[in-house]
Amino acid sequence: MVLTTTSCYKCVGGTISCACCEGNLIKYGRDIRGKQRYFCKKCIKTTVVFYTYQAYHIGTNPNIIALTKEGVGILSMARLLSISATTILKRIKNIASTLFPPTLSDNQEYEVDELKTYYLQKSNPIWIAYALERESRRVVSFAVGSRSNAMLNQVLQPLVEAYPRKIYTDKLKSYKYLIDNKIHSIQNRSTNHIERMNLTLRTHLKRLNRRTLSFSKCVIMLESIIRIYFWSKYVFGANKLSRSV
């Protein structure tokens, strides 16, 4: 007796698998451009494996995050990824909208400081205020705007609600009115960690350099870049460039 083997004519051979769950893919018709679509039975999602436009590839967002954290400009990023600058701007805003600060723990010590930069032109100064958790070195809150009590209070309010053990700042007078004296400290060298973070920020993000032409053109993009730099690792993990770059 001769044994015969049969196989499903829709099954996809080779090394093609679902990028989300690594399940088996089957052919699922074509899209309006004639591209072959595939369906994953495990995660019940459809996808196109071979995209013509690079922006649709599964590794595009991680690449944008990695390049953003390395201080690569929008136009340079567009050239490296073969994507339009407009698409890069939209992706950065969309990614930033999905990122949120980490959960605060009670009875922790924090350092708060401000960083000066510019937007649109050098005659428009703007400040980045943020709080650093001493034990974990995590940035737990930040705000962008003029160095006013209202902007600083956006950073301090989440800390106060978490019942901190101590909040260390510099000698800016605004902090005296916003932080209770029992938990406020301005002693020397008490903000060393956040001052080190300021230097790291200016080194990694070119738009924050003191003498540069690469400053942000709008406040929304500046906030998005800062949000990605501070909090993307808590959502996307370690950010590494794809080999396709």
- Give residue-wise pLDDT tens across range 100-158: 999 998 999 999 999 999 888 888 889 999 999 999 999 999 999 998 999 999 999 99
**Helix 60-69 to helix 85-97 angle, to the nearest 10 degrees?**
90
CB count within 10 Å of CB 133 equals 21
Whether pTM > 0.85 for this model: the answer is no
Strands 109-119 and 45-48 turn out to be unpaired
Q: What is the rounded average pLDDT of the residues 90-104? A: 92
Q: In whole angstroms, how far apart are CA 97 and each of 11, 19, 57, 199, 236?
A: 37, 23, 20, 26, 13
Q: What is the rounded average pLDDT of the residues 81-103? A: 92
50/221: higher pLDDT: 221
Residue-level length of the chain: 245
State the Cα–Cα distance between residues 237 and 37, nearest whole angstrom.
29
Find, among 217, 244, 210, 236, the residue nearest to 69 by Cα. 236
Q: What is the rounded average pLDDT of the residues 18-30? A: 73
Query: Mean pLDDT highest for which of 41-55, 109-123, 208-222, 231-245?
Result: 109-123
State the Cα–Cα distance between residues 71 and 217, nearest whole angstrom.
15
Q: List the 121-133 sheet strands across, edge first.
A: 139-145, 121-133, 109-119, 166-168, 184-185
The tens digit of pLDDT for each residue in 34-45 reads 777 788 877 777
How much is the pLDDT for 239? 59
